[in-house]
Amino acid sequence: MDINEIAPTATQFLADQADRWGDHPWHPWFLVFPILFWTLVIVAIVSARRRWAGRQGEGTLRDVYARGEITEAEYRDRLTVLRGTRR
């Protein structure tokens, strides 16, 4: 079976089903919306992951301060540096 046998059959099928799908031409929106949706999902995941990864340094600094290894002044200075160098 080659394309010359399939094309007329497929064309006839689509013509017969026009009433079922509506008498309007296909638009590229059926491709744009899924691509846009998945792009937004991926961007949201990457953004959330970067934000979470940026906070790990603060958690480590909190632990060091809680163990008494640094003073409050050092803690605040280092926290300012961490928050200032965030991407």
> What pLDDT does 25 receive?
67
Give me the residue spans of the domains in the chain: 3-84
Per-residue pLDDT, averaged over 4-8, amounts to 76
pLDDT digit string, tens, across residues 15-74: 776 666 566 666 667 778 899 999 999 999 998 888 777 677 888 888 999 999 999 999
The DSSP code for 67 is T
Report the residue count for the chain. 87
Task: Please state the φ and ψ torsions of residue 42, each to the nearest 5 degrees.
Answer: -65, -40
Q: How far apart are CA 51 and CA 58, in angstroms?
A: 12
CB 35 within 8 Å of CB 59: no
Determine the pLDDT at residue 2.
72
